């Protein structure tokens, strides 16, 4: 009975995102509005309530009022990465929260998107309840379940794998399926992202973190233990129309990020209340103990972005442009 109850609680935690989305969109309005000054431009920001650390600096800047000195905000959510891609390709919106790889792919397909800031750096963890699994090499010759399908954690691990790790068979799962398999004991070891990791650690007995994908990447490449995973992008047309406003938005997000380094809970509390239906405050607080709060203008870290994109597409590495030859308008510049 206890195991059944625990399973139900875990599944509910994993499905909270869907419930939160439906709860929001069943209301009379599917958007949030911040600021009503008629003398300021209104920018539409597309985000997701599922995101944790990457959007905390943005909301902190909104809550302290400084960001609203320069514009009003209309906030809407995207339903899936496919939905976001459609928005990007259509040029719908002024600002978007999303993955760096997705922004790059949309840009290459003709979307008017420029990466503004990077604020998501750590997300993926190797988890196990098997005491014999102490490092990635212990899984050589075995299957390693991971979620979600298409996770960038897999090509990252494959790119830095040693000879003792090159026979790991990665098996895709949907988050709910992986959570249930771990709780039932059908799966002992898995590769998962936050905030799913926090939910799993609190619900699955004996589950522990073996390693962080980003830390392993840093150790193997001699680079910082981080990856430019996610951030905020701007519509190129908006940046051309309102260059001063966009520059101020970047400044305020960086300033807020610096404040959050010493007081991360400020960022949690700054989120719109409705986002609590997606990911709970407690879950974000626990995940932040393992995360990195840092916001960098994308144009200041082109080498990291290029290295990351090359790692995700190793078959194209021989023809991938050099760092200083990234598409000239991919990274926003003031």
Model pLDDT, residue 3: 52
Calpha distance 102→122 (Å, rounded): 17
Percent of the chain clearing pLDDT 70 (strictly above): 88
Is pLDDT of 243 > 80?
A: yes
Mean per-residue pLDDT for 133-137?
98
Scanning the structure block, which residue is given the tokens 């997000």?
253
What is the fold of 123-221? D-Maltodextrin-Binding Protein; domain 2 (3.40.190)
The answer to which of 174-188, 206-220, 314-328 has the lowest mean pLDDT is 314-328
* Max Cα-Cα span within the chain: 63
Mean per-residue pLDDT for 232-250?
98
What is the 3 state secondary structure string of 132-165? CCCCHHHHCCCEEEECCCCCCHHHHHHHHCCHHH
Mean per-residue pLDDT for 311-332?
70
Q: Which class is domain 31-120+227-325?
A: alpha beta
Work out the end-to-end distance of the chain between its first and last CA atoms, rounded to an integer number of angstroms: 59
Mean per-residue pLDDT for 132-146?
98
Backbone phi, psi, residue 269, to 5°: -70, -20
Ranges in the chain annotated CATH 3.40.190.10: 31-120+227-325, 123-221
Is pLDDT of 124 > 80?
A: yes
Q: How confident is the model at residue 315 (pLDDT cuts 50, 70, 90)?
A: low
Q: Do 305 and 100 meet the contact criterion of CB atoms below 8 Å apart?
A: yes
Calpha distance 276→193 (Å, rounded): 19
Mean per-residue pLDDT for 252-265?
96
Calpha distance 288→268 (Å, rounded): 10
Helix/strand/coil for 79: coil
Model pLDDT, residue 47: 98
Strand order in the sheet with 169-172: 169-172, 143-146, 189-193, 124-128, 208-212
User: Where in the chain does DSSP place strands (E)?
Assistant: 32-34, 42-47, 72-77, 95-99, 113-120, 124-128, 143-146, 169-172, 189-193, 208-212, 230-235, 296-297
| C-alpha distances out from residue 276 to 22, 48, 279, Å | 13, 12, 5
Please write the tens of the pLDDT for every residue from 50-85. 999 999 999 999 999 899 999 999 999 999 999 999
Calpha distance 256→252 (Å, rounded): 6
Please write the tens of the pLDDT for every residue from 182-204. 999 999 999 999 999 999 999 99
Radius of gyration, alpha carbons of the chain: 20
Average pLDDT over the chain, rounded to an integer: 90
Is pLDDT of 316 > 90?
A: no
Is pLDDT of 125 > 60?
A: yes
Please write the tens of the pLDDT for every residue from 165-181. 999 999 999 999 999 99
């Amino acid at each position: 009975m206890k195991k059944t109850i625990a399973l139900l609680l875990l599944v509910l935690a994993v499905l909270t995102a869907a419930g939160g989305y439906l709860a929001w969109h069943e209301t009379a309005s599917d958007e949030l509005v911040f600021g009503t000054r008629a003398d300021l431009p209104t920018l539409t920001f597309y985000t997701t309530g599922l995101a944790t650390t990457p959007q905390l600096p943005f909301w902190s800047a909104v809550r302290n009022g400084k960001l609203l000195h320069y514009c009003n905000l209309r906030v809407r959510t995207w339903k899936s990465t496919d939905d976001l891609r459609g928005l990007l390709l259509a040029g719908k919106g002024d600002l978007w929260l999303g993955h760096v790889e997705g922004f790059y792919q949309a840009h290459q397909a003709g979307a008017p998107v420029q990466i503004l800031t990077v604020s998501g750096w750590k997300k993926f963890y190797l988890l196990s309840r098997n005491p014999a699994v102490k490092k990635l090499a212990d899984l050589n010759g075995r299957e390693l379940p991971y979620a979600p399908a298409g996770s960038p954690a897999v090509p990252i691990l494959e790119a830095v794998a040693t000879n003792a790790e090159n026979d790991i068979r990665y098996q895709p799962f949907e988050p709910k399926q992986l959570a249930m398999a771990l709780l039932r004991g059908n799966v002992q070891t898995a590769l998962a992202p936050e905030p799913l990791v926090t939910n799993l650690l609190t619900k699955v007995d004996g589950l522990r973190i073996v390693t962080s994908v980003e830390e392993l990447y840093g150790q193997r490449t001699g680079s910082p233990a981080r990856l430019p995973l996610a951030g905020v992008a701007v519509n190129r047309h908006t940046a051309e129309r309102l260059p001063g406003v966009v520059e101020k938005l970047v400044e305020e997000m960086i300033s807020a990020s610096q404040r959050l380094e010493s007081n991360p809970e400020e960022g949690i509390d700054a989120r719109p209340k409705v986002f609590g239906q997606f990911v709970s405050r407690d879950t974000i607080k626990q995940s932040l103990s393992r995360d990195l709060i840092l916001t960098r203008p994308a144009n200041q870290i082109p080498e990291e972005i290029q290295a990351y994109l090359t790692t995700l597409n190793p078959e194209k590495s021989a023809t991938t442009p050099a760092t200083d030859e990234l598409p000239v308008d991919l990274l926003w510049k003031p």
